Copies of this chain bind each other. A is one copy, B any other.
Amino acid sequence: MAAKRRATRPADLRKAVLEASLALIEEGGIEALSLREVARRMHVTHGAPYHHFPDRAAILAALAEEGFALLADAMRAEMADEAPGSLERFEAAGRAYVSFALEHTAHMKLMCRSELGRALEHPRVCARAGEAMQLLVDCVEECRSTGAIVHDDPAALVLTSWACAHGIAALLIDGPLPGLRAGEHPLDLGHSVINALSSLLELSSRKRRPRRTRRR
């Protein structure tokens, strides 16, 4: 019967803790993450998780690191379908960001809430965040080298693109948008913002270097 009890336990408690934590955060935000509730959901004593994480903050840090890694993977995957240096690739990066944010709201909340997790103080988390950002930086630079994007200040453009993608995601997840634009599919709204930014880039670049932009 001991074996039977064992069988009902999750095979890998560490992984199960992370999953249950994500579910809690998704439902009620970061402050809804309680080790005791996590243990309760896993049908395990509330002391058990301490064999896998030193404390609550360690769970948040692990999830934040995971989140940034997943984001970078999602961006890479979506960008891989488009030619380097093309505006389509830039769009793909934005779409991937928005899609990731809407699909992984719990990760997103963790990744962008400095005062709570203090996750970005962990060097590994910070490195992962930089990795994701670098994908966008490189993408813009490639687009400038091919002429798909003409812009004086690439750093400002990177920031603007990131702000657009992050902003629409934040408005859709947390903000007043779902209330004010009820009935519209969040992902559609998100992608329409990416498209709008991309078309502005295309129009403004064409004007200054007509016929030089490469489009498939």
Q: Which residues of A contact B (CB under 8 A)?
A: 28-32, 111-116, 120, 126, 129-130, 133, 151, 153, 156-157, 159-160, 162-168, 170-171, 173-176, 178-180, 189, 192-193, 195-197, 199-201, 203-204, 206-208
Given contacts A171-B166, A180-B129, contact A192 B115 (CB under 8 A): no
Which B residues touch A176, using CB under 8 A?
111-112, 114, 120, 126, 129, 133
CB pair B196 A157 closer than 8 Å: yes
Q: Report the minimal beta-carbon distance from A189 to chain B, rounded to whole angstroms.
A: 6
CB pair A156 B203 closer than 8 Å: no
Which chain B residue lies CB-closest to A111? B176
CB pair B111 A156 closer than 8 Å: no
Interface centre among A28, A112, A153, A195 (most CB of B within 10 A): A112
Which chain B residue lies CB-closest to A202? B204
Given contacts A115-B29, A129-B180, contact A171 B160 (CB under 8 A): no
